[in-house]
Structure 1
């Protein structure tokens, strides 16, 4: 191996190491960024579907909802439930409501919840309070979750393996809606050397998930130069 080849490899190896370690990051998305999680009657600027557009959501990522106790978050894999803005008749195996556990008719106080993305495919989110009026007033959005690097160990649940997958449903992009409490021991995944969590405010994670290609290109370049 001549000196030129050794020099090239010495430059490439740190880049490969850095790129490989960065690829292990998951992403936290703050829903609505600084606008928070509210309906159009409280903030006419919100458009959560527009906020979600162009982002790459993967298993193990988190959605952080910053709102107050007069709002809830319903996560469902059932398009019909989402379209109706009503989870009362939903199956608990595919729909969960997160709320402050209080009476939403009382004075509102600040409240936040971090929800993990644990199933691939379409995930639907809306607020169910006031008989679905908040959902009907724009407090809703849907995203497609891809596999990515898969769930971190801290989010894997034996129950998930036995629960049935949601049946395919027609998701009409032109359709609009017709008109579970937070576990006390709920925690985000604990970052480790192989499961780092990257905090972001709605930033795209595509650069993290495409690093494998970068490693390959660096290797090809090194071989070509040598």
Structure 2
């Protein structure tokens, strides 16, 4: 395999690794896990997380005393586990988030959901949840424009900085092209 082919394969692997590295793993209840012992507030726990598509939610619990049921919103509100969408019972269940919106889970053991063993994992669509821009208030005072001169232009080429995965890939491609041409 030639240098160019190896370089292209390397860049593709790097792109996949960068994409995968953005996913997070969230253990429900953190160190306490999925339980009714200790009065864990799963609503408060979920509110401190930023769930995204690709993340994995992990439920760790004693499978002799608990389970995990994925349910509808109505079932979640009423703690009704009679016909769940899915039931997990391994004691270490990993669920990958694949879509936006609310994902409702509860423990189906009688009394556990009522004791607070339920969680709403809300995955926000960042572009859809962006707040609309506010129009300026009639009471807002205008900001005066500074009276400074613009810097004089020079013949230097501009420095363009790219951040994140695209910056890394762009830098790698620049080095690759430079190394091929020399």
* TM-score when normalising by structure 1: 0.45
Larger Rg: 2
Please, which of 99, 103, 106 is the counterpart of residue 123 of structure 1? 103
Counterpart in 2 of 1:112?
92
1:49 aligns to what SS in structure 2? helix
Residue in 2 aligned with 1:28? Answer: 25
SS of residue matched to 2:25: strand
- The verdict on how the C-alpha distance between 1:79 and 1:213 changes in structure 2, with shifts beyond 3 A counting, is farther
Asked if the contact 1:19–1:214 (Cα under 8 Å) also holds between the matched residues in 2, the reply is: no
Determine which of 85, 99, 109 is the counterpart of 2:89.
99
CA distance in 2, matches of 1:118, 1:20: 17
- 8 A Cα contact 1:63 1:117, kept in partner: yes
Segments of structure 2 that go 5 or more residues without pairing to the other structure are 1-13, 127-161, 171-182
* 1:213 Cα deviation from its structure 2 partner: 6.3
Higher relative CO (Cα under 8 Å, sequence separation at least 6) belongs to 1
Q: 1:115 offset after TM fit, Å?
A: 1.4
Determine if the alignment matches structure 1 residue 53 to structure 2 residue 47.
Answer: yes
Q: 1: CA distance between counterparts of 2:51 and 2:163?
A: 19
Conserved? CA contact 1:119–1:145, under 8 Å: yes
Would you say how many aligned residue pairs link Structure 1 and Structure 2? 119
How well do the aligned residues superpose, as a CA RMSD in angstroms?
A: 2.9
Distance 2:105 2:53 in 1: 16
Looking at structure 1, the residues matched to 70 and 163 of structure 2 have their Cα atoms a distance apart, in angstroms, of 33
**Distance of aligned partners of 1:50 and 1:118 in 2 relative to their CA distance in 1, 3 Å threshold:** same
Alignment of 1:163-178 (within 5 A): none
Cα distance, 1:24 vs. partner? 3.8
Segments ≥4 residues shifted beyond 3 Å: 18-24, 212-219
- Could you list the per-position Cα deviations for residues 137-173 of structure 1 after superposition, in whole angstroms to 9, with x for gaps in the alignment? 011111212468xxxxxxxxxxxxxxxxxxxxxxxxx
Match 1:88 to one of 68, 82, 92? 82
